[in-house]
């Protein structure tokens, strides 16, 4: 399917990366399970939160080392699908899946109080950093250069993921006392984050021709394939004509569909975030209105003023 049968198990599943991600899941399971009381006396982590974390790790593996990663080197549509899942969906799932007491433990060191981290974690800086990194990456020449320089590719993806986590942290801040924005500001923040990514998606969708050599130039493509296949990637050119062999669409149609898929997934996730934050705000306001008020001079009022 989609030409995956031409690649080996190692190419498709990246066994070392698979083992690493499985180890993360096992470690998490122990920390929130039998080891939990070493960290906190809080109640057990819910199944919903544990499922959220595991789903995030599975998606991150599939998009960065599994079959979806390989497909992302064959078709631009899958590349943009991977970007949307890895940087729009995985971060909020991870943030939700890790309980507040574990976040507190991870960030209790004094080093996190340095000015550089305070600046980077400013909501505006976090959003601007992710937007700039994402947009810069999808400028055609930048994209092809990063995709064909493997060390830079790895570093860039890690930094992009961290910036995505920083941006989503302000939307779904898991530690109440660390929240830096009101619910109303958070709604505006979500809207702006989607708006700022629109130019990059529009450039891709409305381009008059193919922009990315990785998906239409066989020489650039085979160099990029060295990132996800074992052995000499140039052998691929003796078997296939290039990325067009694996694509049912023209390079331009594939590019346009990729931009549309990216924007649709982003809008769906942002809409879910808007709904979630709004309902949190609504429930908080509702709870404050339902709190009983004491008449002046009532016994409880006297006690509170002692």
In this predicted structure, what is the pLDDT of residue 1? 60
Asked whether the predicted pLDDT for residue 243 surpasses 50, the reply is yes
Asked whether the predicted pLDDT for residue 2 surpasses 90, the reply is no
pLDDT tens figures, 260-293: 999 999 999 999 999 999 999 999 888 877 666 5
Average model confidence (pLDDT) across the chain? 91
Tokens of 192: 């702006």
User: Could you tell me which of 264, 257, 248, 207 has the C-alpha nearest to residue 79?
Assistant: 257
Tokens of 191: 């809207």
> How many CB atoms are closer than 10 A to CB 9?
8
Backbone angles phi, psi at 189, to 5 degrees: -65, -45
How far apart CA 298 and CA 41 sit, in angstroms, is 36
Instruction: Please compute the mean of the pLDDT values over residues 240-263 and round it to a whole number.
Output: 93
Lowest mean pLDDT among 180-189, 236-245, 264-273: 236-245
In this predicted structure, what is the pLDDT of residue 153? 96
pLDDT tens figures, 71-109: 999 999 999 999 999 999 999 999 999 999 999 999 988
pTM of the model: 0.91
Q: From residue 75, give the alpha-carbon distance in Å to each of 20, 83, 156, 245, 260.
A: 26, 13, 20, 10, 14
Domain boundaries defined on the chain: 4-286
In this predicted structure, what is the pLDDT of residue 124? 96
For residues 31 and 39, the answer to whether their CB atoms sit within 8 Å is yes
| 8-state DSSP, 233 | T
> For the chain, what percent of residues have pLDDT higher than 70?
94
pLDDT band at 232 (very low <50, low <70, confident <90, very high): confident
């Amino acid at each position: 399917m989609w030409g995956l049968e031409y690649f080996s198990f190692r190419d498709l599943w990246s066994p070392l990366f698979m083992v690493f991600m499985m180890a993360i899941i096992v470690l998490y399971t122990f920390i929130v399970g039998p080891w939990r009381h070493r960290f906190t006396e809080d109640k057990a982590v819910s199944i919903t939160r544990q499922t959220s974390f595991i789903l995030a790790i599975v998606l991150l593996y599939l998009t960065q080392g599994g079959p979806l990663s390989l497909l992302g080197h064959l078709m631009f549509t899958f590349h943009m699908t991977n970007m949307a899942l890895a940087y729009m969906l995985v971060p909020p799932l991870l943030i939700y899946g890790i309980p507040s007491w574990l976040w507190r433990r991870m960030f209790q060191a004094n080093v996190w109080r340095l000015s550089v981290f305070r600046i980077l974690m400013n909501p505006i800086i976090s959003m601007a950093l992710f937007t700039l990194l994402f947009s810069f990456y999808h400028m055609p020449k930048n994209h092809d250069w990063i995709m064909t320089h493997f060390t830079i590719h790895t570093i860039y993806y890690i930094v992009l993921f961290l910036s995505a986590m920083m941006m989503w942290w302000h939307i779904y801040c898991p530690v109440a006392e660390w929240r830096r924005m009101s619910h109303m500001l958070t709604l505006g923040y979500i809207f702006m984050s989607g708006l700022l990514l629109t130019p990059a998606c529009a450039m891709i969708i409305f381009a008059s021709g193919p922009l990315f050599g990785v998906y239409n130039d066989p020489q650039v493509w085979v160099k990029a394939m060295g990132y996800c296949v074992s052995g000499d990637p140039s052998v691929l050119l003796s078997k296939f004509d290039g990325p067009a062999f694996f694509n049912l669409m023209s390079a331009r149609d594939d590019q346009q569909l990729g931009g549309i898929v990216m924007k649709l997934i982003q809008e769906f996730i942002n809409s879910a975030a808007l709904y979630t934050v709004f309902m949190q705000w609504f429930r908080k306001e509702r709870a404050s209105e339902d709190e009983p008020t004491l008449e002046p001079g009532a016994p409880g009022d006297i006690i509170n003023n002692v």
